[in-house]
A = this chain, B = another copy of it.
Amino acid sequence: MTAIDINCDMGESFGNWTMGRDSEVMPYITSANIAGGYHAGDPHVMRETVELAAEHDVGIGVHPGLPDKMGFGRRTMDATPEEVRDYVVYQLGALTAFANRHGASVQHVKPHGAMYSMLSESEAHCRAVMEGMLEVDPDLVYLATDMNIYEVAREYDELDAVFEGYVDLDYNPDRTLIVEKSVGPKDPELVADRVVSIATRGEIEAVDGTTINVPASSICIHGDGSNAVELLETIHDRLDAEGIELASLDELV
């Protein structure tokens, strides 16, 4: 049976500052990427977000960032592969302790923002992070945002990796994404079409009308998009109608 995961970034509030609509979005997703306290999040937010994920039986993942709250982890920095690996291990461990409270473990790792860009551009950084993950817990899944990273991950026999596709942003024909500063409202039917297209055929229509290959087992939704909840409702209805199952990452690998 065809199955797909829906993931979303979560837990990006910090102290007195709130961000996102975690409690509205969590019921519709199967994997949560939870900020680890470096670019966003704090211990209290992490505990609450893990609780929310556990309530909805959502796979718990860590969304580690660079140590740059002022820049929200969106500015690449000239850190060594070993430094970035240690930032991932630290945040992964911290989140695991909160997951333990629910008898759960961390399911996956999806680096945030500039950290993901650094991994995409440097194989050494990519390998350091993946080897760091394997040392902590060989059952972890790497959730890959781009093909450079996905291909490195697949070279490790012992590492499970899943590629993710985007449906609330447009793709260029070369499979890069057309990033929006804040994700505006999207047509729910178009977005649902894209999910089905990725889930059943591994492809999507790019902005120029050509069909491109997106071999994704997971769909990323921007939880802070203008009509994120509406999109998720429509996706659920469509998957139901098409007989496509929702499954978290650890059920897919």
A residues lining the B interface (CB < 8 Å): 13-19, 37, 40, 42-44, 46-47, 67-72, 74-79, 82-83, 86-87, 89-98, 100-101, 114, 135-137
Contact = CB atoms under 8 A, between A and B. Distances in A.
Contacts of A72: 15-16
Nearest to A42: B70
Contact of A70 (B67, B89, B95, B114): B67
Contact of A95 (B78, B93, B95): B93
6 contacts: A14-B70, A15-B70, A37-B90, A46-B86, A91-B94, A96-B97
Copies of this subunit: 4
Contacts of A14: 14, 17, 69-70
A126 B96 CA distance: 22
B16 A19 contact: yes
A47 B86 contact: yes
A90 B43 contact: yes
Contacts of A42: 70
Contacts of A16: 19, 40, 72, 74
A94 B87 CA distance: 10
A40 B16 CA distance: 10
A15 B71 contact: yes
Contact of A92 (B68, B75, B76, B97): B97
B93 A96 contact: yes
A101 B88 CA distance: 13
Contacts of A89: 43, 47, 94, 97-98, 101
Which 10 pairs, one residue from A and one from B, show the smallest C-beta to C-beta distance? Answer: A93-B97, A17-B17, A43-B86, A16-B72, A77-B77, A43-B90, A101-B135, A93-B94, A75-B78, A94-B94
Contacts of A95: 93
A14 B100 CA distance: 28
A78 B79 contact: no
A21 to B, nearest CB: 15
Contact of A43 (B40, B87, B98, B114): B87
A124 to B, nearest CB: 16
